[in-house]
Structure 1
Amino acid sequence: MSLTGHEDDVHFKATFEQVEGSRSKGVITLTIDTPNWEKVNGIELWKHKEGDKITWTVEKVTMDETLAVEQSLLGVYPITPTKQEVYSSIAWCAKHDGCTSLPQCDPDQEKRKRKLLRTRKLYEYTQRSPGIPCQVRKVPDNHTLHYLSAAIQQKLLEHNSAIWNKHCRPWKTAKDVAHIYGCVFQQPSDITRWEDDVKFGLQRFAGTNNTMIRLCTELPEKLQVTPKMLKPFLGKYTLDKALKKRRLFVVDHAILERCPTVLNTTVCSPIALFYRDKRDRIVPIAIQLFQEKAEDNPVFLPSDDKYTWIIAKMWFNNADACVHQAITHLGYTHIVMEGFEVAVYRNLSKSHPMFKLMAPHFMYLMTINNLALDLLLGPGKYFDTVVSVGTKGAYELIKRYRTKWRLNVDGTLPADLKERGVDSPEIVPNYPFRDDALLTYNAILQYVTDYVHLYYPSDDMLNGDYEIQCWRAELDRPIEQGGLGIMGVEGVDGRFTSRDQLIQVVTSIIYTCSVGHAAANFKQYDEYAFPMNYPSLLRGRPPSDKKRRTESDVIEIIQDRANHYQLMTITKILSDHSYGNPLGDFDENFITDPKALNLVKEFRAKLDEVSETINESNEIRETRYDYLEPSKISNSINI
């Protein structure tokens, strides 16, 4: 196979030679047609036509000593390797410094601008549904990894075959439900959360929706509770004292009020009050299933009949699950981060150091989002089958939350914890998500800080970077004016004025694409696999009175066996860690600058320390929380 190319007036040709005894390795030999090395800024290698049938990787380009010594250009010119097939539309560029330069330092700024203008045409914004965050209008060919789609489709077929080979008879008892596990679906870690108030409370801090609970400093007026009603559940404290001692917490899902749902289903908009008891366990003490006070909207209490209280908790968890799926997972990891990725490709050259820093954390994102739109959110697909709000309700919730979500608060872990009043272990002693996520957040923050300081020795250097400033301006520019319309982006008048602002934005992006997504995603099967633990859909109507219920009433409201098998299928696939490398071990090595590579090594070493700390914590935790150990966090949103 031969390759030809040019760099302005400097032409070269290449030949592909087979390594003896190997069918998978080769050597590219470059013969330069002109000795005018001063004009050579880089080398592009392309695969065309028959070359598409060959799978290969490029590891490095080495200049020959006899050609380069007079110009003092002798050296190895790194080239980004890839484990996937190199498609014909991808050009791999090798420069003297590993393709890393700020635009104002690039020796050929005009050519760089021309390339970026061509790239910008490939990455245009669109909103898949009115009011939701921006995504890419069309996924460029070089992002479409068909193997990923094929792998997921195959798993769906395998699991669906197992489902339909079973006789999907109606549920009879709770024990009957517990017998659904076997060779295809393993039993989750705990199938008793639905019965246990302590485990129900812990779901707010170690489940899949860990960023909703907040410190309660005053009771919501719409919650019709009284001091007398709550007194039996507050131990030695009065209601006022419990509030002052910061022992009360609240989850308010007002965002669900009058949300669309799939046919013949209801979703509540509940308010739940939690109390930290003398053993530092945070447990539910009151649940009101709808927002407005009314006789047919009672407050349910732990002192109610056993199954009446259980059913109230299940309807609350159903609402929480809808918020988790639509907002926490789909809307404000997958979709919102795709917009940031599009902005990066539109505004930053692939030679830009910040492109190289962020690119590994966007790998496969456009692909998996495009796949999700088809497999999960299409008419009659999984969202419309197993989630109460369905596709229409999911898009409505994402739209509602876009007016509330701020990058520097909701998208920034320390600020979010502080804003919710749950940042201190003195207030919430047992918060596995917070404690583990902060360790990795801080490691990412240090990594980004060191990297930014490497390429921007001063704020003035940042101020002169017109690519990064164009990127910054596009982030909070209104959608109607061609931007992302993101609120809470650090900076002044659409510009970064300090390196700290850039560090905060990039840290939040990398955190959300890695840790944030891992927290929302990888525990899904464990939470959803037992239908009473965390029901994504309930049948019938929520209770409007406090009369006595039975186990049969519980069985009647969970979704049928066939639908639950579908839910287990998709959550099992989504909880799979097999796609992509763990955090810090990048699928593609965009970073090639030796000084920056040292920072990557330091980052990996810090992540190893975090892993040790988390593993030690899990040895003494009453309930293990393994989902944010760095080796189990992907670099990007790849599933």
Structure 2
Amino acid sequence: MENYTVTVATGTSEYSGTSNYIYVTLVGEMGESERTLLDKPGLDFCRGAVDEYKVSSRTTLGPLLLVRLEKERYWVEDNWFCRYVTVKSPIGDQVLIFPCYRWFVGDVMVEIREGTAKTHKEDALDVLQAHRKRELQDRQQSYRWQTWAKGIPQCIDAKTEADLPQDVRFDNEKRSDFQYSLHFALLELSLKKLAICFGNSWNNLDDFKQIFWKLRSPISEYCMDHWKEDWFFGYQCLNGSNPRMIRKCKQLPEKFPVTASMVQSSFPPRTNLDNELKAGNIFLLDYVIMERLPSNIIKGQRQYIAAPLCLLYQHPDQGLIPIAIQLGQTPGLETPIFLPKDPHLAWLLAKMWVRHSEFQIFQVLSHLLRTHLVVEVFCVATLRQLPAVHPIYKLLAPHQRYTLEINCRGRTQLISADGIFKRVVSTGGDGLLILAQRDYKDLTYRSLQPYLDFTDRGVSQLPKYYYREHSLMLWEAIHSYVSQMVSLFYQFDQDVHQDPELQAWIRDITQVGFMELPNFGLPSELSSKEDLSTLLAVVIFTSSVQHAASNNGQFDWCAWIPNTPCTMRQPPPSDKDAVTMEMIMATLPDVSQSCVQMAITWHLGRAQPDAIFLGQYTKQHFTEGPALELIDRFRKDLKEIEDHILSQNDGQDLPYLFLLPSRVENSITI
């Protein structure tokens, strides 16, 4: 008779415990233990419990391979979340850890592997190969691809979040907080609208201050004070919620006929436009992707969209400043070029139109498409093609938390036909999807790699580009960590190439997830450790750092509505001398739209109370010492980056802290 000490850990989130029957069977290389009922129902397996049991076997089991857990209903159905199981052998003091991190829903049996990461070729035993195969077959039944809309990435087959498997759903605390946060924001919105005694439109710019109640932040208030200033406009092009748009201008496009005399007053003495173009100090924002987008109709009123061009100059004293704006792609009398020397209100309104385009681009493209939807492809493929024992599954699992549910909620609540964007955003409805389809056609794997992206845009030397500086530091730390993890489990390039599960994973990504992107640039085969390391770094960077850069500051930059309006209610001005304050107020979002913009950007951009930040892993998927040492080293690298960013921002009136590692979540959870 052999006696094993078995410890079972129940989840710590709300409703993780169960009053149902739990059975365990130990499966060894030489046999199985008795199927053992683990104590009395209703007494053990409480939330957060770590319960210990004795499990016996009449025969020698040999090396343990699997732990079989079963849940059976007792009186009423009661789901259970198991964190892990440990087994202490009767011989010696060896304790094996079996990570689980799964929900047991209904009468169910689950077999879990010991925590040492194993690639396909390392499992020589037929029973373990069969286990890998069964696990993937079950997952492929649960996680299926679907086309939500033609011309954008494939997504999870779920009409709403309720259709998702429990393992990828929000915890109850997260679900409650998400719903409470949204209701709180919308309630304050309603109270504000009731408290404001005038009609739909605001009377003057100061009226927007009336919606700054509880929902406010230091940066939003700084924005309210400085939004009219040209240097602040330029600063947001570098460090706002859409820092990936700006690119060096080597030659003025024909469609933007700015002359040297037009902008001479923006330059210091003894230089001019031609000199600064040659010196590499001229930059361009081109919103051609928004040309002829269908605009939204809100409460029967047509909204308006522009496709501006904005020229910027890196001034030696003032920093990056706008020097010319054209509110359309076709020059002419109806699309004049606005300049800083124009009447103050005309220049101000031109900048508002650029910022309005920024709202559309950062929300739909930088945020939704290039983080949420791109990462969802990797989430689905990982769940379908990599078993839980695979080292790459273990590496990616923390960076997939909640992503499928938040994306389902986004499709049903935010960008759907009757969602929030349709209610208040100028691209709501058809325009939003067409905008995403246009950008998706040009999406490349290269553009998701920060070093290459900055090089291609010609912005590697732009000063005070904190987004670039911080994201590259984090990219280096992530890539180093991932490369060392890959080398831990793959000795040679051919080991990567000959891993059938890994090759099935990359084929699922390229041939299904991104199947409408023949020019994406990611091969359907992984040939080397470096190829794998770079791809994994892209996935982790995009789901953490890149998402934080677009998401975390959206309330800061959008709460003061004139700075980043969600919609425009009048067409762009065609006469610079005709711009009045009445025209501006009739163009900017009305009271209701302004309140919704403030509420939803607060709801989506606020810090999440259950956030798990970069480098922190509450679920111990890796159990072996060398992998844990690499995780510890990664954390030390992140701590150095944290200290550098804090030191750099000490005493700054306008700190850039969005990429502080302690504020960057591991995964896309909001």
TM over 0.5: yes
Confirm whether residue 202 of structure 1 aligns to residue 230 of structure 2: no
Confirm whether residue 158 of structure 1 aligns to residue 179 of structure 2: no
| Segment of structure 1 superposing worse, 6-15 or 249-258 | 6-15
Q: CA deviation at 1:471?
A: 1.3
Match of 1:568 among 583, 594, 598: 598
Confirm whether residue 429 of structure 1 aligns to residue 463 of structure 2: yes
- Tell whether the 8 Å contact from 1:271 to 1:289 is kept in structure 2 after alignment: yes
Structure 1 counterpart of 2:398, one-letter code: P
Confirm whether residue 637 of structure 1 aligns to residue 668 of structure 2: yes
Q: CA deviation at 1:411?
A: 0.8
- Partner residue of 1:216? 249
| Segment of structure 1 superposing worse, 330-339 or 223-232 | 223-232
Match of 2:424 among 362, 376, 386: 386
After the TM superposition, which residues 125-136 of structure 1 pair with which residues of structure 2 at under 5 Å, given as runs? 125-136=145-156
- 3-state DSSP of counterpart to 2:574: coil
Structure 2 counterpart of 1:105, one-letter code: E
- Partner residue of 1:628? 659
Confirm whether residue 53 of structure 1 aligns to residue 78 of structure 2: yes
Q: Take 2:345 and 2:47, find their aligned partners in 1: how far apart are those partners?
A: 65
Q: CA deviation at 1:369?
A: 0.7
| Segment of structure 1 superposing worse, 377-386 or 618-627 | 618-627
- Partner residue of 2:94? 75
What number of residue pairs does the alignment pair up? 623
Q: Take 1:20 and 1:465, find their aligned partners in 2: how far apart are those partners?
A: 41
Q: Take 1:21 and 1:4, find their aligned partners in 2: how far apart are those partners?
A: 12
Structure 1 counterpart of 2:177, one-letter code: A
- Tell whether the 8 Å contact from 1:474 to 1:483 is kept in structure 2 after alignment: no
Q: CA deviation at 1:553?
A: 2.7
Q: Take 2:77 and 2:515, find their aligned partners in 1: how far apart are those partners?
A: 36
Q: CA deviation at 1:489?
A: 4.8
- Partner residue of 2:131? 111
Confirm whether residue 519 of structure 1 aligns to residue 549 of structure 2: yes
- Tell whether the 8 Å contact from 1:25 to 1:56 is kept in structure 2 after alignment: no
Q: TM-score, normalised by structure 1?
A: 0.92
Confirm whether residue 444 of structure 1 aligns to residue 474 of structure 2: no
Q: 1:490 to 1:128 in 2, by over 3 A?
A: closer
Q: Take 2:481 and 2:494, find their aligned partners in 1: how far apart are those partners?
A: 21
Confirm whether residue 144 of structure 1 aligns to residue 178 of structure 2: no
Match of 1:269 among 307, 328, 349: 307
After the TM superposition, which residues 170-569 of structure 1 pair with which residues of structure 2 at under 5 Å, given as runs? 170=199, 171-185=202-216, 188-190=220-222, 191-235=224-268, 236-263=270-297, 264-279=302-317, 281-407=319-445, 409-424=446-461, 428-477=462-511, 483=515, 485=517, 487-491=519-523, 494-569=524-599
Q: CA deviation at 1:114?
A: 2.8
| Segment of structure 1 superposing worse, 110-119 or 512-521 | 110-119
- Tell whether the 8 Å contact from 1:16 to 1:27 is kept in structure 2 after alignment: no
Q: Take 1:615 and 1:63, find their aligned partners in 2: how far apart are those partners?
A: 45
Q: 1:352 to 1:387 in 2, by over 3 A?
A: same
- Tell whether the 8 Å contact from 1:476 to 1:484 is kept in structure 2 after alignment: no
Q: Give the percent of matched residue pairs that are identical in Structure 1 and Structure 2.
A: 27
**Larger strand share, 1 or 2:** 2
- Tell whether the 8 Å contact from 1:14 to 1:30 is kept in structure 2 after alignment: no
Q: Take 2:506 and 2:638, find their aligned partners in 1: how far apart are those partners?
A: 29
Stretches of 4+ aligned residues off by more than 4 angstroms? 5-9, 17-24, 54-57, 84-94, 184-187, 482-491
Q: 1:149 to 1:225 in 2, by over 3 A?
A: same
Q: Take 1:43 and 1:393, find their aligned partners in 2: how far apart are those partners?
A: 52
Q: 1:21 to 1:127 in 2, by over 3 A?
A: closer
Q: CA deviation at 1:154?
A: 1.9
After the TM superposition, which residues 35-54 of structure 1 pair with which residues of structure 2 at under 5 Å, given as runs? 35-38=59-62, 40-50=64-74, 53=78
Q: CA deviation at 1:280?
A: 5.9
Q: 1:496 to 1:22 in 2, by over 3 A?
A: closer
Structure 1 counterpart of 2:453, one-letter code: D
Structure 1 counterpart of 2:189, one-letter code: I
Q: 1:20 to 1:44 in 2, by over 3 A?
A: closer
Q: TM-score, normalised by structure 2?
A: 0.87
Q: Take 1:234 and 1:368, find their aligned partners in 2: how far apart are those partners?
A: 47
Q: 1:507 to 1:402 in 2, by over 3 A?
A: same
Q: Take 2:50 and 2:426, find their aligned partners in 1: how far apart are those partners?
A: 54
Q: CA deviation at 1:512?
A: 0.4
Q: CA deviation at 1:99?
A: 4.5
Q: Take 2:139 and 2:516, find their aligned partners in 1: how far apart are those partners?
A: 18
Q: Take 1:34 and 1:554, find their aligned partners in 2: how far apart are those partners?
A: 84
Q: Take 1:145 and 1:620, find their aligned partners in 2: how far apart are those partners?
A: 38
| Segment of structure 1 superposing worse, 229-238 or 319-328 | 229-238
- 3-state DSSP of counterpart to 1:502: helix
Q: CA deviation at 1:346?
A: 1.4
**Unaligned stretches of 5+ in structure 1?**
none
| Segment of structure 1 superposing worse, 179-188 or 297-306 | 179-188
Structure 2 counterpart of 1:245, one-letter code: A
- Tell whether the 8 Å contact from 1:135 to 1:335 is kept in structure 2 after alignment: yes
Q: 1:36 to 1:112 in 2, by over 3 A?
A: farther
Q: 1:419 to 1:633 in 2, by over 3 A?
A: same
Task: Describe the superposition over 1:537-577 as per-residue Cα deviations: whole angstroms up to 9, x where unpaired.
Answer: 11111111211433333222211112211111111111122
**Unaligned stretches of 5+ in structure 2?**
1-19, 159-163
| Segment of structure 1 superposing worse, 186-195 or 208-217 | 186-195
Q: Take 1:88 and 1:265, find their aligned partners in 2: how far apart are those partners?
A: 50
- Partner residue of 1:599? 630
Q: 1:157 to 1:614 in 2, by over 3 A?
A: same
- 3-state DSSP of counterpart to 1:497: coil
Q: Take 1:541 and 1:99, find their aligned partners in 2: how far apart are those partners?
A: 62
Q: Take 1:601 and 1:384, find their aligned partners in 2: how far apart are those partners?
A: 45
Task: Describe the superposition over 1:459-495 as per-residue Cα deviations: whole angstroms up to 9, x where unpaired.
Answer: 122122111111122322266xx9574754555xx22
Q: Take 1:466 and 1:334, find their aligned partners in 2: how far apart are those partners?
A: 27
- Partner residue of 2:644? 613
CA RMSD of aligned residues (A): 2.6
Q: 1:131 to 1:36 in 2, by over 3 A?
A: farther
Q: Take 2:519 and 2:257, find their aligned partners in 1: how far apart are those partners?
A: 34
Q: CA deviation at 1:392?
A: 2.2
- 3-state DSSP of counterpart to 1:285: strand
- 3-state DSSP of counterpart to 1:532: helix
- Tell whether the 8 Å contact from 2:217 to 2:556 is kept in structure 1 after alignment: no
Q: Take 1:20 and 1:374, find their aligned partners in 2: how far apart are those partners?
A: 39
Q: Take 1:183 and 1:275, find their aligned partners in 2: how far apart are those partners?
A: 37
Q: Take 2:521 and 2:37, find their aligned partners in 1: how far apart are those partners?
A: 46
Q: CA deviation at 1:52?
A: 5.8
